């Protein structure tokens, strides 16, 4: 009976206690909806569709106090313009304090207006999170901040106080909405005609969620308990996604599910060939540290860029966490001593459980946990407690008005202290189970070096400079490197090396933004074509192995100490010395030297291939090392022929019937020694 009374009180509006807000240490958001001509009053905000209105945000960017009377002072208005707004949320809609979704508009009331709000990158879709069911008022923003500190994108947010149609509505979080955008989920936008490779490969945002939003279920996957988990398209929108696009992204999840169930960790054809392992590791860690009762099954986002791997995240909806739940509905699921992916409730698709139980994934999960929780680490208890205290200080003043308005946060400080005690127990439980990093610690990384970057080519006649971009990689070792599933990890440009790709000692290969334009302009074929274009200003190129271990990183810039002549004037960036730190601008020069298909080889035993490029035949000479076996394979790993030899020092091979392209000639010269050379067939 007490639970029902409490729920009834929560659902009743508090008409008599509206707090008059005159000033705040937080930004003040003032929303006025357009007049309803039938009543002469401002329109009530509905669940759907969005209605028109105006919004002002009072914000002193020098940190001084914000006054309601500043709404007439343009210099104090962070935003002063048109919007459309609606109520958002699912369970939270039973509460009198609503959450809202809004779009900033231009003065025509139709065109989206991309603007910076409170220091957040330009966009037009925003969320006013009413902090529903969380009397600590810090759980959501704490979790998003931690996820970003881990290196993953999560929505940025700022506390603010909100007035709607002259009614003080209390403390809110102004948040970025999860969507495709360079400053948010930085993936390629899909069009309805993107139905063939490579365009059909991305980008996608797909979520596991409840169906109360009205969007149709795209497909359903089983959890470890047999409960169905609904997947819903977020981008492209359900009404825009094509059959080909639906089938493609669904197949990515089904393949992940199958490989995880098989416990297949092969870079060639296991789950690392499908997913960005670090994002799945980080999503599991933040969800489990918080014991998020919705994780994996509800409000669980995934994204995939064009030609990229499937990624977990961004995190969203972390109010029922850190020991909190819908207690007045007799729900109590956020505990310190269970895994949320296997607790019998809201367990999500079975691949999460299977990934945890796979030895290599568990190894990387443990390794990452140990790194993040070391003293000073972003998930160390001291760091988390300091963040909680900082957030509490920020909202101390507004909490008084929030309590006066809604009578729901009287115990907010007790909640925060309870969170800290809960986190100590949760931390100890997880630490005990993630203490052994196992064999992944011994992973040897190949000596690959990002050695040339053409991020801003000049236009060449009718050829757009963006189509002449390239990134070059050099094998700075003495042995061939298997490039299988090595990939560029950061969103913004995507390339995953196909299975069977090899790079000889000393060899340099090119990846191009447009293979056809590259071939026509430079006179030879690149090794492969990446998706999207490099930034003309700055980008962080991270080359990683199939499990996400960083092999090399170059964060280039278009300004000193990086050579400025490479910024659109014709030259490309070239590393001075392969042994130098290639993340330091002073170790690069702007080079105008011709781009060549030929490269020096180290320790190739004096073996020569000629002619190269070749037509109908190829000669292989090995005056020092007898030849025992020769294989010719294309970049997909397909073997076109294999020949056993008996110590030949020279052989002529027929290439008749073999298509034009780039091939690997794998030459076995003695037991356990193989020399790999690249052949261009025209």
What pLDDT is stored for residue 327 in this prediction?
Answer: 81
Q: Which fold has domain 608-681?
A: Immunoglobulin-like (2.60.40)
Q: Higher model confidence: residue 384 or residue 212?
A: 384
Q: Tell me if residue 248 falls in helix, strand or coil.
A: helix
Nearest to 544 by CA among 581, 508, 505, 490: 490
Confidence of residue 608 (pLDDT cuts 50, 70, 90): confident
Alpha-carbon distances, residue 352 vs 15, 305, 515 (angstroms): 46, 21, 37
- Which residues does 473 contact at the CB level (< 8 Å), separation at least 6? 448, 449, 450, 451, 503, 508, 509, 511, 543
On the question of pLDDT at 661 being above 90, the answer is: no
The single-letter DSSP state of residue 433 is: H
Tens-digit pLDDT profile for residues 451-509: 999 999 999 988 999 999 999 999 999 999 999 999 999 999 999 999 989 999 999 99
Confidence of residue 636 (pLDDT cuts 50, 70, 90): low
What percentage of residues in the chain have a pLDDT greater than 90? 78
Mean per-residue pLDDT of the chain = 92
Q: How far apart are CA 236 and CA 242, in angstroms?
A: 9
Name the strands in the sheet holding 204-208, side by side, starting at the edge strand that comes first in the sequence: 219-222, 228-235, 204-208, 300-304, 310-312
* Cβ atoms 175, 126 nearer than 8 A: yes
What pLDDT is stored for residue 339 in this prediction?
Answer: 96
Q: How far apart are CA 171 and CA 394, in angstroms?
A: 11
Show the CA angle centred on residue 73, arms to residues 71 and 79, nearest 5°.
Answer: 65
Tens-digit pLDDT profile for residues 501-551: 999 999 999 999 999 999 999 988 899 999 999 999 999 999 999 999 999
Confidence of residue 597 (pLDDT cuts 50, 70, 90): low
What pLDDT is stored for residue 8 in this prediction?
Answer: 39
What pLDDT is stored for residue 1 in this prediction?
Answer: 37
Tens-digit pLDDT profile for residues 249-300: 999 999 999 999 999 999 999 999 999 999 999 999 999 999 999 999 999 9
- Which residues does 494 contact at the CB level (< 8 Å), separation at least 6? 202, 305, 306, 307, 308, 487, 488, 530, 531, 532
* Cβ atoms 60, 179 nearer than 8 A: no
Tokens 């329109």 belong to which residue? 43
The pLDDT of 81-98, averaged and rounded, is 91
Nearest to 595 by CA among 616, 571, 613, 579: 571
Tell how many helices (H) and how many strands (E) occur in the chain: 9, 36
Structure tokens at 627: 């030849």
CA atoms within 13 Å, Cβ hemisphere of 259: 19
The single-letter DSSP state of residue 494 is: B
E strands within 576-616?
A: 588-591, 608-610
On the question of pLDDT at 187 being above 90, the answer is: yes
Question: What's the sign of the alpha-carbon dihedral 537, 538, 543, 548?
Answer: negative
Q: Higher model confidence: residue 214 or residue 31?
A: 31
What pLDDT is stored for residue 635 in this prediction?
Answer: 66
Confidence of residue 227 (pLDDT cuts 50, 70, 90): confident
The pLDDT of 325-340, averaged and rounded, is 92
Q: How far apart are CA 427 and CA 366, in angstroms?
A: 13
Q: How far apart are CA 385 and CA 229, in angstroms?
A: 34
Distance of alpha carbon 585 from the chain centroid: 26
Q: How far apart are CA 34 and CA 82, in angstroms?
A: 10
Q: Where are the domains of the chain?
A: 2-176, 199-321+337-373, 443-591, 608-681
Structure tokens at 46: 């509905």
Tens-digit pLDDT profile for residues 396-442: 999 999 999 999 999 999 999 999 999 999 999 999 999 887 778 66
Tens-digit pLDDT profile for residues 61-79: 999 999 999 999 999 999 9
Structure pTM?
Answer: 0.87
């Amino acid at each position: 009976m007490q639970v029902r009374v409490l729920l009834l009180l929560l659902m009743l509006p508090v008409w008599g206690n509206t707090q008059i807000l005159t000033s705040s240490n937080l930004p003040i958001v003032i929303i006025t909806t357009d007049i309803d001509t039938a009543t002469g009053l401002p329109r009530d905000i509905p669940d759907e569709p969005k209605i028109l209105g105006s919004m002002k945000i009072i914000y002193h960017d020098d940190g001084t106090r914000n006054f309601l009377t500043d709404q007439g002072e343009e210099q104090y208005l962070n935003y002063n313009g048109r919007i459309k707004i609606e109520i958002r949320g699912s369970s939270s809609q039973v509460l009198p304090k609503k959450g809202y979704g809004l779009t900033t508009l231009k003065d025509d009331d139709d065109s989206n207006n991309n603007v910076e709000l409170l220091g957040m990158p330009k966009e037009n879709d925003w969320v006013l999170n009413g902090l529903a069911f969380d009397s600590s008022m810090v759980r959501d923003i704490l979790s998003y901040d931690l996820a970003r500190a881990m290196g993953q994108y999560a929505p940025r947010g700022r506390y603010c106080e909100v007035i709607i149609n002259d009614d003080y509505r209390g403390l809110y979080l102004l948040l970025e909405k999860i969507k495709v955008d360079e400053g948010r989920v930085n993936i390629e936008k899909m069009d309805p005609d993107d139905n063939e490779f490579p365009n059909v490969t991305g980008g996608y945002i797909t979520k596991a969620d409840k169906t109360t939003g009205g969007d149709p279920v795209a497909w359903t996957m089983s959890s470890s308990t047999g409960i169905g988990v609904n997947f819903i398209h977020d981008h492209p929108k359900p009404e825009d996604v094509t059959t080909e696009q639906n089938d493609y992204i669904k197949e990515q999840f089904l393949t992940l599910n199958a490989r995880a169930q098989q416990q297949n960790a092969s870079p060639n054809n296991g789950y690392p060939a499908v997913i960005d392992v670090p994002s799945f590791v980080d999503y599991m860690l933040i969800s489990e540290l918080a014991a998020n009762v919705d994780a994996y099954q509800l409000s669980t986002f995934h994204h995939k860029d064009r030609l990229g791997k499937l990624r977990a995240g961004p995190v969203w909806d972390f109010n029922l966490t850190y020991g909190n739940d819908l207690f007045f509905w007799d729900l109590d699921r956020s505990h310190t001593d269970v895994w949320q992916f296997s607790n019998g409730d809201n367990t999500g698709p079975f691949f999460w459980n299977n990934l945890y139980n796979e030895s290599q994934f568990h190894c990387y999960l443990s390794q990452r946990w140990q790194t993040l929780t070391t003293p000073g680490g972003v998930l160390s208890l001291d760091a988390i407690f300091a963040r909680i205290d900082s957030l509490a200080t920020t909202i101390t003043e507004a909490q008084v008005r929030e309590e006066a308005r809604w009578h729901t946060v009287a115990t907010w400080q007790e909640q925060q202290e309870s969170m800290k005690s809960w986190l100590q127990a949760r931390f100890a439980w997880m630490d005990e189970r993630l203490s052994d990093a196992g064999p992944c610690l011994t992973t040897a990384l190949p000596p690959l070096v990002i050695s040339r970057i053409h991020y801003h080519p000049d236009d060449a006649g009718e050829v757009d400079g963006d189509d002449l971009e390239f990134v070059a990689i050099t094998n700075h070792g003495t042995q061939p490197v298997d490039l299988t599933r090595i990939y560029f990890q950061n969103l913004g440009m995507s390339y995953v090396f196909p299975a069977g790709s090899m790079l000889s000692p000393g060899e340099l290969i090119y990846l191009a933004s447009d293979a056809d334009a590259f071939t026509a302009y430079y006179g030879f074929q690149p090794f492969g074509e990446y998706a999207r274009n490099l930034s003309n200003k700055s980008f962080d190129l991270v080359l990683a192995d199939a499990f996400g271990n960083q092999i090399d990183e170059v964060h280039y810039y278009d300004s000193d100490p990086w050579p400025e002549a490479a910024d659109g004037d014709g030259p490309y960036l070239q590393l001075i010395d392969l042994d130098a730190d290639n993340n330091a601008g002073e170790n690069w020069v702007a080079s105008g030297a011709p781009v060549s298909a030929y490269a020096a080889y180290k320790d190739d035993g004096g073996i020569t291939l000629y002619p190269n490029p070749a037509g109908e035949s190829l000669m292989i000479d090995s005056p020092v090392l007898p030849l025992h076996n020769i294989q010719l394979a294309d970049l997909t790993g397909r073997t076109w022929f294999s020949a056993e030899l008996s110590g030949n020092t020279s052989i002529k091979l027929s290439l008749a019937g073999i298509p034009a392209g780039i091939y690997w000639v794998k030459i076995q010269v003695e037991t356990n020694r193989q020399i790999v050379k690249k052949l261009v067939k025209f």
